Amino acid sequence: MNKRITIKQIAKALSVSISTVSKALNDSYEISDETKSKIQEYAKLHKYKPNTLALSLQNKKTKTIGIIIPNILNYYFARALRGIEKVATEKGYNIITCITNESFKKEVNTMEMLSNGTIDGFIACISVETLKMKNFEHINDILNEGTPIVLYDRVHKDINCDKVVTDNIKSAYKATRFLMKSECKNIAIISTSEGININKFRVKGYLKALTKYDVVPNEDLIIIQDGEDGLTERINKMLDSNKVDGIFTVDEISGAITTQVLNKRNIKIPDEVSIVGFTNGILSRYSSPPLTSVNRFAHTTGEVAATRLIDKLEGKVKFDDIKTEIIRTQLVERESTKKLFIKF
Amino acid sequence: MNKRITIKQIAKALSVSISTVSKALNDSYEISDETKSKIQEYAKLHKYKPNTLALSLQNKKTKTIGIIIPNILNYYFARALRGIEKVATEKGYNIITCITNESFKKEVNTMEMLSNGTIDGFIACISVETLKMKNFEHINDILNEGTPIVLYDRVHKDINCDKVVTDNIKSAYKATRFLMKSECKNIAIISTSEGININKFRVKGYLKALTKYDVVPNEDLIIIQDGEDGLTERINKMLDSNKVDGIFTVDEISGAITTQVLNKRNIKIPDEVSIVGFTNGILSRYSSPPLTSVNRFAHTTGEVAATRLIDKLEGKVKFDDIKTEIIRTQLVERESTKKLFIKF
DNA sequence: ATGAAAGCGCTAACAG
DNA sequence: CTGTTAGCGCTTTCAT
């Protein structure tokens, strides 16, 4: 077992001083070519690698950023992570990813843990529990210490920092309008995970579209619940006693479940009922039929967040310069809605 | 902005020595209750938190483990990560997750980077590229330095370390046999991502089952290709010119695409064609119809890997004590196969 | 009970 | 050109 070698050992082995070794390895002009190459060769031979910890302790910079993800099984977050990861790597930053599983306690613990020298800044998405409790002290504390944070997707006005979000109201509005334009008269909306304001915004957008086109919202067509348990039954029940020819689902899982229900009932999609989903992921792409869906550009969200954070870390943007960036969405037409010939 | 406070500053503020503060904060018996509480109160008031870096540098232990994931969009890996994360958290370890995007270079870079003091050990899944190149020097180097690694899912015999794997041959064998028992006579197999040995093993299991039951493999029913491009066409073509009543797909995406093709052709699943998938994830669960699938217990895989690594880090298991753990699979029956009345 | 000093691995200012 | 020294934040002997 060849334990990792240190600068000190190299110095001893070659009978030079520690600082000479340090300088030689950093290719300093102060060191003679001869000693330099002697040291560098020895280092290479023994696979010397500098200790990251010691470096970070010295520079007060770790070149790593902490990523807080509520739920990695969520395809949107996984894609956002990729975007973050891409930019971080490009700019020479490491990322340390933590999953909170939507738990407040876990979120507080990990963020406190990491903000003690381990990371230079955070890219975080607040957990549902935190959002419900409206307790953001841990975040504000970290901000106060001068550690920059960029919040993405789920945000709150009580936190004053950079944010990267989706325009939920507008996107939901456009999705609903699309259903109306494709001649749906009775449009239902389905939303799991109540309690997060982004879902409320999506319902708002739906209602706004209806109102705008003089359709009176029908309460029986609005299914909002926490979690997916029993969703199948509720959809079936709704379908049993209501005329429905369009369904807007506020998240991917709802979309998939809705599709399953319709298929099971042998209802033709989109001939009899159209579906528009939200957050275009694998489920939308690979369902039968593939779902028309509001694409959220998760990857871009991640990229923008990472770019912003790194700019701040590197002083390109001042700490107090706070900005909220809105990432546009785009409706991806697939086979769960009727083809529209008039674009609008 | 309240910059983070250090032990030194506390010492100065209270006119005591640095070591007194250190001891007081660690609740040492050497310090009088009076000074202790004085210091502790001051620390709390100023939200003192020890610098993790300095601690790690001192102890030569970071209490964090590096996780290498080839592709986070893969549901299996995401679930495994959860399992790892759970155990790590329970045992007081942090994880730092890195995504290689199936790239050899990225894998080498991140692993070298992290193994310089940042992490105590790795839980890694080798990238496809690395596997194809069969270059495992970076892994063996790290192992050589005394840093423990647990490999999961994708492994190779040239690497001598702890491993946690699926029994691919046996699982594929059982899946194929299941199709035969449900009266399928012409069973096709579909596999994307050629080149990884685990997929080869799955094909092997399929062939083994056929042979065992005296079915001569039909080359026209074996679709193996790299990536999913054009898969739809190949499946259609196969269906055009062959009688097929059962399909075993070696991964989730293939399963989803196959389902789409059959649905599109209005082929009744499972009445006309049965499907069994591999790696039971959201796609299998939420497709129409839901797919019978070989469930891989990704979460368990992660848990086992993490437990093993931590045991090693904490000296409960010797470094040279190498073990390969095989995680069983389980066929989950859903609606893409006919109900079997005789269990076997 | 408290403090001085060395050291973890490294860099950097300053001397020589 | 090379070496000495101090210091990053903390722990841990060893004195006092």
Asked if B285 and B175 sit in the same domain, the reply is: yes
Asked if A141 and A230 sit in the same domain, the reply is: no
Q: β-strands B162-166, B324-327: how paired?
A: parallel
Report DSSP state, residue A287.
Answer: S
Q: Which nucleotides of D are covered by protein (CB under 7 A)?
A: 1-5, 7-13
- Domain contains B311: yes
Q: Which of A2-6, B38-42, B114-118 has the highest mean pLDDT?
A: B38-42
Q: Is the pLDDT at A154 greater than 60, yes or no?
A: yes
Adjacency order of strands within the sheet including A187-191:
A222-224, A187-191, A246-249, A274-278, A292-295, A330-332
| Nearest residue to D9 via alpha carbon and C1' | B54
* CB atoms inside a 10 Å sphere around CB B200: 16
Tokens 């065992």 label which residue? B212
Tokens 């066929």 label which residue? B331
- Domain contains A335: no
Q: Exposed, middle or buried, A273 (CB in 10 Å: 0-12/13-18/19+)?
A: buried
Asked if B184 and B286 sit in the same domain, the reply is: yes
Cβ–Cβ of A288/B52 closer than 8 Å?
A: no
How far, in Å, is the CA of B28 from the C1' of nucleotide D6?
29
pTM equals 0.90
Lowest mean pLDDT among A1-15, A319-333, B192-206: B192-206
- Domain contains B16: yes
- Domain contains A338: no
CA distance A140 to A146: 10
Query: What is the interface size between A and B, counted as CB pairs within 8 Å?
Result: 159
Q: Is the pLDDT at A343 greater than 60, yes or no?
A: no
Asked if A285 and A315 sit in the same domain, the reply is: no
Beta bridge partners of A80: none
Residue A213, pLDDT score: 93
Q: Is the pLDDT at A195 greater than 80, yes or no?
A: no
CA distance A64 to A47: 23
| Residue of chain A nearest B89, judged by CA positions | A106
- Domain contains A41: yes
- Domain contains B334: no
Cβ–Cβ of A73/B73 closer than 8 Å?
A: no
Contact predicate A297/A328, CB 8 Å: yes
Asked if B64 and B146 sit in the same domain, the reply is: yes
Measuring from the CA of residue B19 to each C1' atom, give the nucleotide at the shortest distance. C3
Report, as an integer, the average pLDDT of B223-243: 93
Q: Cβ of residue B58 near strand C, that is under 7 Å? A: yes
Residue A295, pLDDT score: 95
Asked if B286 and B315 sit in the same domain, the reply is: no
Asked if B290 and B190 sit in the same domain, the reply is: yes
pLDDT bracket for residue A342 (50, 70, 90): low
Report, as an integer, the average pLDDT of B188-194: 85
Residue A228, pLDDT score: 85
Tell me how far apart the terminal alpha carbons of chain B are, to the nearest angstrom. 68
Q: Is the pLDDT at B341 greater than 70, yes or no?
A: no
Q: Is the pLDDT at A341 greater than 80, yes or no?
A: no
Measuring from the CA of residue A9 to each C1' atom, give the nucleotide at the shortest distance. C9
Give the CATH number, domain containing residue B65: 3.40.50.2300
Asked if A148 and A195 sit in the same domain, the reply is: no
CA distance B257 to B104: 28
Asked if B283 and B180 sit in the same domain, the reply is: yes
Asked if A104 and A197 sit in the same domain, the reply is: no
Report, as an integer, the average pLDDT of A135-141: 96
Cβ–Cβ of A73/B79 closer than 8 Å?
A: yes
Q: Is the pLDDT at B342 greater than 60, yes or no?
A: no
How far, in Å, is the CA of B198 from the C1' of nucleotide C12?
52
Q: What is the pLDDT of residues A158-185, one digit of tens each?
A: 999 999 999 999 999 999 999 999 999 9
- Directed axis angle between helix A298-313 and helix A75-90, to 10°? 40
Residue A83, pLDDT score: 96
Integer CA distances (angstroms), B131 to A273, B76, B152, B157, in order? 47, 18, 13, 11
Q: Cβ of residue A13 near strand C, that is under 7 Å? A: no
Q: Which of A96, A139, A299 to mutate to test the interface with B (most CBs of B within 10 A)?
A: A96
Which of A56, A263, A319 is the closest to B288 by Cβ? A263
Share of chain B above pLDDT 90, in %: 86
Residue A313, pLDDT score: 95
Residue B96, pLDDT score: 87
How far, in Å, is the CA of A26 from the C1' of nucleotide C14?
19
Q: What is the pLDDT of residues B63-92, one digit of tens each?
A: 999 999 999 888 999 999 999 999 999 999
Q: Is the pLDDT at B344 greater than 60, yes or no?
A: no
Residue B343, pLDDT score: 52
Residue B189, pLDDT score: 97
Q: What is the pLDDT of residues A259-299, one digit of tens each?
A: 999 999 999 999 999 999 998 899 999 999 999 999 999 99
Residue A326, pLDDT score: 97
Cβ–Cβ of B73/A79 closer than 8 Å?
A: yes
Asked if A14 and A75 sit in the same domain, the reply is: no
Q: How many domains does chain A have?
A: 3
Q: Cβ of residue B17 near strand D, that is under 7 Å? A: no
Structure tokens at B175: 């899946």
Contact predicate B88/B116, CB 8 Å: no
- A81 CB neighbours in chain B (<8 A) are 72, 99
Q: What is the pLDDT of residues A30-87, one digit of tens each?
A: 999 999 999 999 999 999 999 999 999 999 999 999 999 999 889 999 999 999 999 9
Residue B129, pLDDT score: 94
Q: Give the structural domain span for A322.
A: 58-166+298-328
Q: What is the pLDDT of residues B97-148, one digit of tens each?
A: 889 999 999 999 999 989 989 999 999 999 999 999 999 999 999 999 999 9
Q: What is the pLDDT of residues A212-256, one digit of tens each?
A: 999 999 999 999 998 888 999 999 999 999 999 999 999 999 999
Report, as an integer, the average pLDDT of A195-201: 83
Contact predicate A327/A300, CB 8 Å: yes
- Domain contains B216: yes
Report DSSP state, residue B318.
Answer: -
How close is the nearest chain B Cα to the Cα of A72, in Å? 6
Q: Is the pLDDT at A149 greater than 90, yes or no?
A: yes
Contact predicate A265/A47, CB 8 Å: no
- Domain contains B2: no
Asked if B283 and B303 sit in the same domain, the reply is: no
Task: Return chain B residues 51..110 having CB < 7 Å to nucleic acid strand D.
Answer: 51, 54-55, 57-58
Those residues whose C-beta lies under 8 Å from the C-beta of residue A140, and which sit 6 or more positions away, are A159, A160
Cβ–Cβ of B94/A89 closer than 8 Å?
A: no
